[in-house]
Chain A
Amino acid sequence: MNIPANLAKSCLLATVIFWVIISSKSIDPDIILFMFLSIIPIFIVSTIVILSTICSVFWLAENADFNKKQVFKTYYPYYVIIVFGICVFAIISSGFDLYIIAFFSSVFITTNQSWVWFAKETQK
């Protein structure tokens, strides 16, 4: 598993989604510095979430008879339904706060794409 590449791509994707959603309301030039600085906490959060919830599934389930494609097909559907439920619950509970929407939307899309990137490594 190419974890560093996956984490780097995921961090970039999460940062872009997060700031695109936040900027959709209004954009302030002074915030650009924070955009770059936000890469650090986003990278930390992405790393923790991906290592603990996605990599752990591959580490535990993948073996000689059960390849990445089968791991994806077996566990990904349930993972994505649970993550979707958590994200929707958090967004509704927050009263549709923009920052919460941005955070959980980026979590949802990034974790999904991260699964696809890990599973695609099979073909290499």
Chain B
Amino acid sequence: MKHISIFIAAFLFSILFFEKNIGLNLTIFSIVTTVLLVGYNSKKFKDKTIILHALVYIFTALLVFIQHSSLSIITNCITFFTLVGVVSEQRTSIYVHWLNGIYTTVAGYFHRTFESNTDAKKVNWKKDIDVLHVAKLIGIPLVFILVFIMLYKNGNPMFNNLVSRIDFSFINFQWLLFTVLGYYLFNNISKPVQVDPATSTDLKTQSTLFKSGTFSEEKLKKEKQLGTVLLGFLNLLIVVYIITDIIYVITGETISASAFSSQVHSGINTLIASIIIAIMIILYFFRGNLNFYAENRALKNLSFLWIFLNVMLIVLIAIKNQNYITAFGLTYKRIGVHIYILLTFIGLITTWIKVLKVKNLAFLFRRNTQIAFIVLLVCSTINWDYTITKYNLNVAKSFDIGYLINLTNRNAILLNKKKDDINISSADKHRIETKYSKHMMALAERDWQEWNYEMFENETKFNSTE
């Protein structure tokens, strides 16, 4: 039964993906994968965490169909590894889920071959030999017969004529090999495996800090003094920087795009260095027993102030980036800056929780990775090409039409619709029309496996206008 369901899934895999682009096929594949995982691990799918991960995976599969962006495909792949990893062991950190998920997908079969030889050798050794013997009985004669048929073909014209009449052209061997690949993939994920030392170590690692045996008050006092002085001066410095930056933002004049760009980028570089150093300093001082030292109040308050001031720095950079976007339009890089700012803000918040609730480094890694994964999920729900185009054409004071034309075809309809309402050259209008017609031609040539929601919608509109 196990092999039959994997065979069916492998057959579907070839139908969906052989010589096809990504589209509806990835959505169907995700559903088949989930059904297979539920079938083989039904007991584990009673756990709410696993059910939630399965639902998220299906959701990302729908996003691939609806958005059809590279980001949604990447998110779907990462969610696939997460789901397989969660089925393998649901109590570990998300990065161990990924490790287990990738390992299972890539080498689950070989791992189980090794395990089964170790554990079940005594029980099934005779059966294994029988299978091997049957394989030899079929495989070896087959290979030699094929080799000798090819050799004899050159030796005797009548034999050659006879063999030539045998026509296997109806069999696509590449398609068959692709099905074998599908079988290997589904066989791997049917029973997820674990990367043993990493999984067990992660399960043993707690997120809370504990007081160690050696507790020297004298040493802690010196460390606290150093921390207080250092953070005190750093706070003073950042306050001066923020004041000057606020004055600059308020009294800022309109400058050229390149100067604005360089300012935002240098601001971001400052932010990167500042936040990394801030988190490292806090992690250094609150790495151990200083968390449990009775007189650490001042140091803790200075750390909180340091985090707060860094948050202010983030807000200032976000304002600058937003001004830049309003003046010169939305681009992927500018959206990336906003996302980076958001992640940095979250990083500072988790550092604040770490100090407040006496957590360790594992806590920071676990929470920040989880949040980054959620941010990725949220980002993949948006059709960025369409959003960028719509914003630039409707809101931005100025924009680069060449950039919009060079985006993927997901904005082709909108650009074509708006081309007469905006002030662009006739050459650019021609480029938009070419992009639109190419997009429509591509729509007509797509197989059902490559379909996505936008194409379906476009085709409906296109047919209605025809």
A123 touches B117 (CB 8 A): yes
Q: Which residues of B contact A115 (CB under 8 A)?
A: 110, 114
A113 at the interface (CB under 8 A from B): yes
Partner of A80 from B110, B117, B173 at Cβ < 8 Å: B110
* Nearest CB on B from A97, distance (A): 13
B196 touches A116 (CB 8 A): no
Q: Which residues of A contact B106 (CB under 8 A)?
A: 80-81, 84
B302 at the interface (CB under 8 A from A): no
Report how far A78 CA is from B173 CA in the complex, Å: 32
Partner of A120 from B103, B117, B173, B196 at Cβ < 8 Å: B117
B121 at the interface (CB under 8 A from A): yes
Q: Which residues of B contact A74 (CB under 8 A)?
A: 196-197
A73 touches B174 (CB 8 A): no
A81 touches B103 (CB 8 A): yes
Partner of A116 from B102, B114, B147 at Cβ < 8 Å: B114
B150 touches A29 (CB 8 A): yes
Given contacts A77-B107, A80-B110, A84-B106, contact A123 B173 (CB under 8 A): no
Contact with A along B115-129 (1 / 0, CB 8 A): 001100100000000
Interface of B is mostly: helix
B150 touches A25 (CB 8 A): no
Closest to B139 in A: A16
Q: Which residues of A contact B107 (CB under 8 A)?
A: 76-77, 80, 84, 112
* Nearest CB on A from B332, distance (A): 22
B195 touches A120 (CB 8 A): no
A24 touches B174 (CB 8 A): yes
B197 touches A123 (CB 8 A): no
A21 at the interface (CB under 8 A from B): yes
B174 touches A25 (CB 8 A): yes
Given contacts A80-B107, A81-B103, contact A120 B150 (CB under 8 A): no
* Count of interface residues, chain A, beta-carbon cutoff 8 Å: 27
Q: Which residues of B contact A119 (CB under 8 A)?
A: 114
* Nearest CB on A from B121, distance (A): 6
Partner of B173 from A16, A24, A77 at Cβ < 8 Å: A24
B177 at the interface (CB under 8 A from A): yes
Closest to B102 in A: A81
A116 touches B110 (CB 8 A): yes
Q: Within B88-132, which residues are at the interface with A (CB < 8 Å)? A: 99, 102-103, 106-107, 110-111, 113-114, 117-118, 121
Closest to A87 in B: B106
B154 at the interface (CB under 8 A from A): yes
Given contacts A32-B147, A80-B103, A112-B107, contact A123 B118 (CB under 8 A): yes
Report how far A112 CA is from B106 CA in the complex, Å: 10
Partner of B196 from A20, A23, A73, A113 at Cβ < 8 Å: A73
Report how far A77 CA is from B104 CA in the complex, Å: 9
Q: Which residues of A contact B118 (CB under 8 A)?
A: 69, 122-123
* Nearest CB on B from A118, distance (A): 10
B176 at the interface (CB under 8 A from A): yes
Report how far A123 CA is from B113 CA in the complex, Å: 13
Report how far A69 CA is from B110 CA in the complex, Å: 13
B114 touches A77 (CB 8 A): no
B151 at the interface (CB under 8 A from A): yes
* Nearest CB on B from A72, distance (A): 6
Report how far A78 CA is from B107 CA in the complex, Å: 11
Report how far A6 CA is from B197 CA in the complex, Å: 27
* Nearest CB on B from A101, distance (A): 9
A72 touches B154 (CB 8 A): no
Given contacts A20-B177, A23-B173, A29-B153, contact A72 B147 (CB under 8 A): no
Closest to A27 in B: B150
Q: Which residues of B contact A16 (CB under 8 A)?
A: 143
Q: Which residues of B contact A112 (CB under 8 A)?
A: 107, 110
Q: Which residues of A contact B154 (CB under 8 A)?
A: 29
Q: Which residues of A contact B110 (CB under 8 A)?
A: 80, 112-113, 115-116
Report how far A83 CA is from B150 CA in the complex, Å: 35
Closest to B106 in A: A84
Report how far A81 CA is from B138 CA in the complex, Å: 33
Closest to B177 in A: A24
Q: Which residues of B contact A69 (CB under 8 A)?
A: 118
Report how far A119 CA is from B110 CA in the complex, Å: 11
Q: Within A73-124, which residues are at the interface with B (CB < 8 Å)? A: 73-74, 76-78, 80-81, 84, 112-113, 115-116, 119-120, 122-123
Given contacts A74-B196, A81-B102, A123-B118, contact A116 B150 (CB under 8 A): no
A123 touches B121 (CB 8 A): yes
Q: Within B129-184, which residues are at the interface with A (CB < 8 Å)? A: 143, 147, 150-151, 153-154, 173-174, 176-177
Report how far A20 CA is from B180 CA in the complex, Å: 12
Residue contacts A-B, CB under 8 angstroms, 19 given: A20-B177, A21-B177, A29-B151, A32-B147, A73-B196, A73-B197, A77-B107, A77-B111, A77-B196, A80-B110, A81-B102, A84-B106, A112-B110, A113-B110, A116-B113, A116-B114, A120-B114, A123-B117, A123-B118
- Interchain residue pairs A-B with the least CB separation, the first 5: A24-B173, A77-B195, A29-B150, A80-B107, A84-B106
Told that A24-B176, A29-B153 touch, could you supply 8 new A-B pairs with CB distance under 8 A?
A29-B150, A29-B151, A69-B118, A77-B196, A77-B198, A80-B110, A116-B114, A123-B121
